[in-house]
Amino acid sequence: MQLAERTGRAARGVELNPQGTFTLRVVQPWYRKQEYPRKLIGFVGLGTDLDRVMDHVHDLTHMPLYLLIDKRYLKRPVWERTMRRLGRRPDWDQFQQVVLGSEVGGNMPAQLEKVVRTGGLASTGVPSILNGHDKVYGALAFSISDASGREEGKLVALVDLSQPAHVLRRAMIIGGAVALASGAGLLAAFWFLIGRVETELGRSRVQLRLLATHDGLTGLYNHRMLYANLDEEVARAGRYAHPVSLLMLDIDWFKRVNDKYGHVAGDSVLRELARRVMNEGRIVDSVYRYGGEEIAVLLPETGASLAEAAAERMRVAVAGKPFALDNGPEIKVTVSIGVAEYPAHVTSSDELVAASDEALYSAKNNGRNQVQVCTRVPA
């Protein structure tokens, strides 16, 4: 991560885990693209176990592979516990300076074990020649270093030099290709991953923005957005000497709908109500689910008389056609609506909400299914 932050590019390396296993790791710094200069907001990392890479190499080349880890970077109890959990037999005392972390393709031959014990295995790219019974082996050692360049171990490949030259050459080519493919494949997987993460984050931002501003059931703006937009509209109305009106709408006898048909039917009524109210509004008007079965409508640059006419259109749109429920029956729904205006009735946005609510309850008390205009006089 430090290397990626310092260079501003993807950093690759081998990571020795506290348990004594290696991970081939790629870390990409993540910047906020919209800002200049770029702002680092985090990192995305992708890793794969070195053991998995060793299995792939062995499957293609049939070369036995042995992973040696420097004891200085291990804690014996932790490493032994990890080896047992992985189904391996840990032998801390087998070698003086290193431990055998994993082996693929068979147990380590006695000749190779002797070379490792005497420290004769160098990471030079030149094979150490080992004489077996009727075979000659070449032990190739590759240094394993972390992102800082610290050598933490060696990967040893055992090549049967008794095989024909073309077989050896094929094994070495495949081994090199697998090593390159492992790095390239990891990078390709990383770029795919970070692309997916960025896409999902983009979707999440949109979803979070919708959740923060809209009601999940009706799709209308929520209670929070009403107050935010209302404060802005009242301030603008006061600055330019324009009126602004607020409608507060409530379903009549909504509890009866829930009790008789169930809450699923009640939700269906709310969604259809929201749709009909939206259809009767202007482009500049905004509709909010205020709470429960209450809906608020904000009408910029609109006085009480025009707001009353708009409210009446909405009342008729609701009462004029039955609501079809999901399970088949149609029911009649009516609404009561309260209307209040700034500055004719109130002097602030909070008072505008309270005044429209008072007018709503006046409409309910007077028989429901009607529009009532506020009668307040601003102080």
- Over 50: is that where the pLDDT of 308 sits? yes
According to the model, what pLDDT value does residue 276 have?
A: 96
Task: Using pLDDT thresholds of 50, 70 and 90, give the confidence band for residue 190.
Answer: very low
According to the model, what pLDDT value does residue 118 have?
A: 82
Helix (H) or strand (E) holding 369: none
According to the model, what pLDDT value does residue 366 have?
A: 95
According to the model, what pLDDT value does residue 54 have?
A: 82
Helices 349-365 and 223-240, interaxial angle, to 10°? Answer: 110
Task: Using pLDDT thresholds of 50, 70 and 90, give the confidence band for residue 188.
Answer: low
- Over 70: is that where the pLDDT of 17 sits? yes
pLDDT tens digits along 309-330: 999 999 999 999 999 987 678 9
137 with 160: CB under 8 angstroms? yes
- DSSP for 298-314 reads EEET--HHHHHHHHHHH
Please state, rounded to an integer, the average pLDDT across all residues of the chain.
Answer: 83
- Give me the CATH topology for the region 223-373: Alpha-Beta Plaits (3.30.70)
142 with 160: CB under 8 angstroms? no
41 with 30: CB under 8 angstroms? yes
Mean pLDDT, rounded, for 52-56: 80
Choice between 152 and 133, residue whose per-residue pLDDT is larger: 152
Length of the chain: 379
According to the model, what pLDDT value does residue 346 have?
A: 95
Cα(172)–Cα(312) distance, integer angstroms = 85
Neighbour count for residue 201 (Cβ, 10 Å): 12
Mean pLDDT, rounded, for 100-107: 88
Pairing of strands 335-342, 371-373: parallel
Peptide bond between residue 378 and the one before it cis (omega within 30 degrees of 0): no
Mean pLDDT, rounded, for 15-25: 84
Choice between 178 and 216, residue whose per-residue pLDDT is larger: 216
- DSSP for 140-202 reads EEEEEE-TT--EEEEEEEEEETTS-HHHHHHHHHHHHHHHHHHHHHHHHHHHHHHHHHHHHHH
What SS3 class is residue 355? helix
According to the model, what pLDDT value does residue 26 have?
A: 81
Least confident of 16-20, 119-123, 284-288: 119-123
Cα(230)–Cα(236) distance, integer angstroms = 10
Domain boundaries, the chain: 2-200, 223-373
341 with 349: CB under 8 angstroms? no
Pairing of strands 39-49, 22-32: antiparallel
- Over 70: is that where the pLDDT of 112 sits? yes
Percent of the chain surpassing pLDDT 70: 81
Question: What is the pTM assigned to this prediction?
Answer: 0.52
- Over 80: is that where the pLDDT of 131 sits? no
According to the model, what pLDDT value does residue 343 have?
A: 95
Task: Return the closest-CA partner of residue 129 out of 143, 110, 115, 108.
Answer: 115
- CA distances (Å), 81 to each of 52, 99, 207, in order? 20, 14, 45
Mean pLDDT, rounded, for 354-362: 96
For the chain, helix (H) and strand (E) counts, in that order, are 10, 15
According to the model, what pLDDT value does residue 213 have?
A: 87
Q: Report angle CA 45, 50, 55 to the nearest 5 degrees.
A: 130
96 with 117: CB under 8 angstroms? yes
Strand order in the sheet with 98-104: 98-104, 65-70, 151-160, 136-145, 128-131
Q: How many CA atoms lie within 13 A of 104 on its CB side?
A: 19
Contacts of 205 by beta carbon, 8 Å cutoff, 6+ apart = none
Task: Return the closest-CA partner of residue 269 out of 223, 213, 335, 313.
Answer: 335
- CA distances (Å), 30 to each of 7, 42, 77, 205, 208, in order? 12, 5, 37, 16, 21
Least confident of 47-51, 90-94, 195-199: 195-199
pLDDT tens digits along 204-251: 556 666 777 889 899 999 998 999 999 999 999 999 999 999 999 999
Task: Using pLDDT thresholds of 50, 70 and 90, give the confidence band for residue 364.
Answer: very high
